[in-house]
Amino acid sequence: DVKVTQSSRYLVKRTGEKVFLECVQDMDHENMFWYRQDPGLGLRLIYFSYDVKMKEKGDIPEGYSVSREKKERFSLILESASTNQTSMYLCASRPRQGRDEQYFGPGTRLTVT
Amino acid sequence: GQNIDQPTEMTATEGAIVQINCTYQTSGFNGLFWYQQHAGEAPTFLSYNVLDGLEEKGRFSSFLSRSKGYSYLLLKELQMKDSASYLCAVRVDRGSTLGRLYFGRGTQLTVWP
């Protein structure tokens, strides 16, 4: 079974803090994705990566950065957290080729106060 | 961007059949996914269609018409546990961006006893 894990289920941070959200997958997938999910807005793509050290902006990259130093790990960084970044963050991965779906991690609910 | 529309909410009773529609306008289309998401949990894969027609999997079926930009998810013999959000997602393969998904905002289905 594919397993995608995220470092925390719940996180509370203060405005201005630097926040790291970690995602690890164990299936040697090339593609990894970070989404945020807000009521009424659905899943929105922040950043994605097609391989180690590669990254592409999604639809809402402002205020975020990412790091992919190892194939299995994709980190989302909030350089200076703000209250409008309070959200559910979901990581996903999939193989580069083939019909496979994206496999999601359990999500991190981040609250910025 | 991509235009993916699905109803915001639907209700049905236990044992009934419900059809959740999804329409899309996109270039680089390479398949449509349906995910189920229970409150506070990650999305889980239900179905994938890339060719026109109906795919059946137990109580769930999914239909695709590429020429009409239309899909539906059919749930039969509804159970209380089917109360969840159902996400329509279009896969877009364009240039170097393989496997990227664009999500609709989700349809919240409530099943009443």
Q: pLDDT digits over B61-91, tens only?
A: 999 999 999 999 999 999 999 999 999 999 9
Model pLDDT, residue B96: 61
pLDDT band at A40 (very low <50, low <70, confident <90, very high): confident
Query: Mean pLDDT, to the nearest integer, of B11-20?
Result: 97
Q: Count CA atoms within 13 Å of residue A16 on its CB side.
A: 0
**Contact: A43, B43; criterion CB under 8 Å:** yes
Contact across the interface for B104 and A42, Cβ inside 8 Å:
yes
d(CA A112, CA B98): 33
A–B interface: beta-carbon pairs under 8 A = 50
Residue A70 amino acid letter? K
Burial class (CB in 10 A: 0-12, 13-18, 19+), B76: middle
Average pLDDT, chain A: 93
Q: Tens of pLDDT along B42-51?
A: 999 999 999 9
The pLDDT value recorded for residue B97 is 62
pLDDT band at A101 (very low <50, low <70, confident <90, very high): confident
Residues of B in contact with A42 (CB under 8 A): 87, 103-106
Q: What is the pLDDT confidence band of residue B53, given thresholds at 50, 70 and 90?
A: very high
Are the Cβ atoms of A99 and B99 closer than 8 angstroms?
no
pLDDT bucket at B1, cuts 50 / 70 / 90: low
- Would you say B98 and B84 are in contact if contact means Cβ atoms under 8 Å apart? no
Q: What are the tens digits of pLDDT across the range B18-46?
A: 999 999 998 888 899 999 999 989 999 99
B33 contacts on A by Cβ (under 8 Å): 101-102
